[in-house]
Structure 1
Amino acid sequence: MKNSRALVMLAVAMLAGLAAVVFASRWLIQTSSNAVTPIAVAAGDVSLGEPLNASLIRTVNWPTGSVPPGAFTDPKTLEGRVVRTSLGRGEPVIESKLAPVGTKGGLSAVIGEGNRAITVRVNDVVGVAGFALPGNYVDVIVNTQEPGKSDAQQSISKIVLEKILVLAVAQQVNRDDTAPKVVNAVTLEVTPDQAEKLDLARSVGTLSLVLRNQVDKATLPTGGATKFTLLGTPVAAPASAPAALPARPARVHYAARPAAKRDCVGVLSGVLGSVECF
């Protein structure tokens, strides 16, 4: 009798333990499924300006509490969208890294709103020995003649544009490559006003690019460098006009006028006499 009671108690305990395991596993599965969110990530490396398609996107479970703002949960909504920056394998695709809807692929997709792209011819010296790469910032210097100067020695070098983004070198727009490339053309992102200045600068003189720090936003006004400032030669002051002589007062000449002829008569008054003229 005692053995049968012990067996019943053992069976009940085993059933209770099995039920607890089943309920706990279901609770863990439900909790884990609620703690992740499926988002779209790059299936491989995606180059700047490349349109997205189903082969370039895959879905992964991401912790719900750390989902990046602007992430996509449906890969179908990314069909045909163009990336503005390069994406690495497994990197989440977010709205800020995409061009506006309807944008076609290519370099035009990465040009900022209101800006333009202009290409200038460079060589290994002008192009900063190939270190002016896509994503870098440069200043543009023009060497030309000073206005009103005909002597070739009176040339001037002046920074005309500052902090200009390099969009592409030759036909390369990849911003992840850091190896220097000696090319014959560099494409810059400028505003319409800057595009006019740059086009005029390359027509009136020779251009040089000056590589600058990407986080340096300071603008330093310069007066330009000439031969005189380069050698420290004082500039001759322009010849001043001769001082005007003080005005001499004009002399006035007075001429004596002859007395007018008058009629005179003698007047006798007693013993006194006088002459009256009319």
Structure 2
Amino acid sequence: MSNGSDGMGVLKRAAERGPRRTGLRVVLFLVIAAGAAALAVLLVTRYVETRTAAARVSTTPVVVATIDLPEATTLRADVLTVVQWPSANVPEGAASDPAKLVDRVVRARVIKGEPVIESRLAAADAGHGLAAILPPGMRAAAVRVNDVVGVSGFIHPGDSVDVIVVMRPESNGNSNPAYFSKIILQNVPVLAVGKELERNERSLEKSLPATVATLMVDSEQSEKLALAQTKGNILLTLRSGIDRELVDTTGVNPAGLVNAHVEPPVNAKPPPPVRRVARAPEAPKQVVEILRGDLYERRDFGKGGAK
């Protein structure tokens, strides 16, 4: 009887040890998995930090524009900000202190987010507005324009034009001298049209109505332009953006405009003489036309009476 009870106790203890061993194994597996996960996280973190440190570059503070800055704009503190710029790519002439750029005038357009460099600015003592962007020795001259003079409004800042004057010469005893036209200025830059100082690419295909165009000329050209506006009428002709050639013209008057005679070149060879060959007089024709009822007959006796 005791043997039976001992066997039952052994089986009971064996059954109790089975679940305990299974629980220990589960706990062991969970500990190993957690340790592997922690090790993986540590390795990934170190890898990312290593790559980030390798990609990190040194930077330098650079002043950039917060809005688009057209030509002749006077810089204010609220249109400038400082950003960190890669030191290896800092543009030449870039500034790091916005206070040093306040009250400077923009000579060439600066777009939003672009560094404000020295070459885009006028000299500190150049003044303000249009006067600050004029090169030394040049002048800004305003001319009256309309739809005809201003090429129907298709002249924009940055274009180049020729100036034609139509006027009458001094009378010299002639009570009614004829008009004449002449190109007096060539390849003249347009600084402004009306109040527009900036070349807007989106409006190049549209007309820009204005009553005044401002041209950049030197002192001698400004004298010619003033006299042309006072004594005659001027016309602006738009030039190609790649055409810089100066052409010497003689002008034209009404007589030369309608005269169809063209003088031959000085060094031209005279044309060869035209040889005229006399033609023999034709023999008189001897033709007889005969009408008989509804029959018509024609005889040429000069050809042997052929019908």
Contact 1:86-1:175 at 8 Å conserved across structures: no
How many Å separate the matches in 2 of 1:126 and 1:170? Answer: 14
Contact 2:75-2:102 at 8 Å conserved across structures: yes
How many Å separate the matches in 2 of 1:131 and 1:25? Answer: 58
Q: Which has the higher helix share?
A: 2
Amino acid at match of 2:252: A
Amino acid at match of 1:207: I
The aligned counterpart of 1:105 is 128
Gaps of 5+ in 2: 1-32, 264-307
Amino acid at match of 1:218: E
Going from structure 1 to structure 2, the CA distance change for 1:147 and 1:26 (only over 3 Å counts) comes to farther
2:197 to 173, 178, 182: 173
Mapped pair 1:79 → 2:102: yes
Deviations 1:11-46 (A, max 9, x none): 999999888766655554455442544422211122
The aligned counterpart of 2:141 is 118
1:137 to 160, 165, 190: 160
Going from structure 1 to structure 2, the CA distance change for 1:132 and 1:151 (only over 3 Å counts) comes to farther
Gaps of 5+ in 1: 1-9, 237-278
Amino acid at match of 2:140: A
- Measure how far apart 1:57 and its partner are: 1.4
RMSD (CA atoms):
3.3
- Measure how far apart 1:61 and its partner are: 3.7
Contact 1:41-1:92 at 8 Å conserved across structures: yes
Contact 1:228-1:234 at 8 Å conserved across structures: no
The aligned counterpart of 1:203 is 230
Amino acid at match of 2:188: I
Q: Percent same amino acid at aligned positions?
A: 37
SS at match of 1:230: helix
Going from structure 1 to structure 2, the CA distance change for 1:34 and 1:235 (only over 3 Å counts) comes to closer
Going from structure 1 to structure 2, the CA distance change for 1:157 and 1:24 (only over 3 Å counts) comes to same
2:184 to 160, 175, 186: 160
How many Å separate the matches in 2 of 1:25 and 1:104? Answer: 54
How many Å separate the matches in 1 of 2:221 and 2:59? Answer: 48
Mapped pair 1:52 → 2:75: yes
How many Å separate the matches in 1 of 2:56 and 2:100? Answer: 23
Amino acid at match of 2:215: L
- Measure how far apart 1:132 and its partner are: 1.5
Amino acid at match of 2:80: I
SS at match of 1:225: coil
Amino acid at match of 1:157: S
State how many pairs are aligned.
233
SS at match of 2:247: coil
Going from structure 1 to structure 2, the CA distance change for 1:134 and 1:16 (only over 3 Å counts) comes to same
- Measure how far apart 1:115 and its partner are: 0.7
SS at match of 1:139: strand
Amino acid at match of 2:133: V
Deviations 1:153-205 (A, max 9, x none): 63211110111111112222122243322221111111111111111111221
2:251 to 200, 203, 224: 224
TM-score (ref. length: structure 1): 0.70
SS at match of 2:125: coil
Q: Which has the higher strand share?
A: 1
SS at match of 2:152: helix
